[in-house]
Amino acid sequence: MARQAPASDADEAVYRERFKAIMANGGILTSYSPMEPIAGAPGASPLPTASTAQLTVKPAALDAAATYARASNARAFIVWRNGKVQRAEYFKGGDRSAQIVSKSLSKPLGAIAVGRAIALGKIRSVNQPLTDFIPEWRGSAKAAMTVRHLLDMRSGLMEQAASSDPDHPLNRAYLSPDHGPYLVAHYPLTHKPGSYYGYGNATAELVAVLIERATGVRYGEFIGKQVLAPLGAEGGEIWVDRPGGLAHSGCCMTLPAESWLRLAVLLLDDGMANGKRLLPKGYAADMAHGTPQNPHYGMGLWVAGPYANRRGFGAVGKPGPQVLHGEPYLDKDLFLFDGNSNQVVYVSPATRTVVLRLGDSPAPTPEWDNSKLPNIILRGIEWRRGKKRPQPQK
Model confidence pLDDT, tens digit, residues 185-224: 999 999 999 999 999 999 999 999 999 999 999 999 999 9
pLDDT at 6 (0 to 100): 47
3-state secondary structure of 338: strand
Find the mean pLDDT for residues 35-48. Answer: 95
- pLDDT top residue among 7 and 377: 377
Question: What's the mean pLDDT in 353-375?
Answer: 97
Residue 307, amino acid:
Y
What pTM value is reported for the model? 0.96
- Is the pLDDT score of 269 beyond 80? yes
State the pLDDT at residue 239: 97
Residue 363 has pLDDT above 60, yes or no: yes
For 89-128, write each residue's pLDDT tens digit: 999 999 999 999 999 999 999 999 999 999 999 999 999 9
Q: Which residues contact 179 (CB under 8 A, 6 or more apart)?
A: 172, 173, 205, 241, 246, 248
**Residue 31 — very low, low, confident or very high, per pLDDT cuts 50/70/90?**
confident
Q: β-strands 353-359, 253-255: how paired?
A: unpaired
Mean pLDDT of 248-257: 96
The residues pairing with 347 across neighbouring beta strands, listed in sequence order, are: 335, 354
Is residue 294 within 8 A of residue 337, CB to CB? The reply is no
What is the predicted pLDDT for the residue at 7? 61
To which H or E segment does residue 312 belong? Answer: strand 310-312
Whether residue 322 contacts residue 356, with contact meaning beta carbons closer than 8 Å, is answered with no
Give the model confidence (pLDDT) of 147-159 as tens digits.
999 999 999 999 9
Mean pLDDT of 248-270: 97
Separation CA 373–CA 57 (nearest Å)? 13
pLDDT confidence of residue 2: 38
CB 152 within 8 A of CB 299: yes
| Mean pLDDT value of segment 217-234 | 98
Average pLDDT, the chain: 96
Q: What domains are there in the chain, each with its CATH number?
A: 19-379 (3.40.710.10)
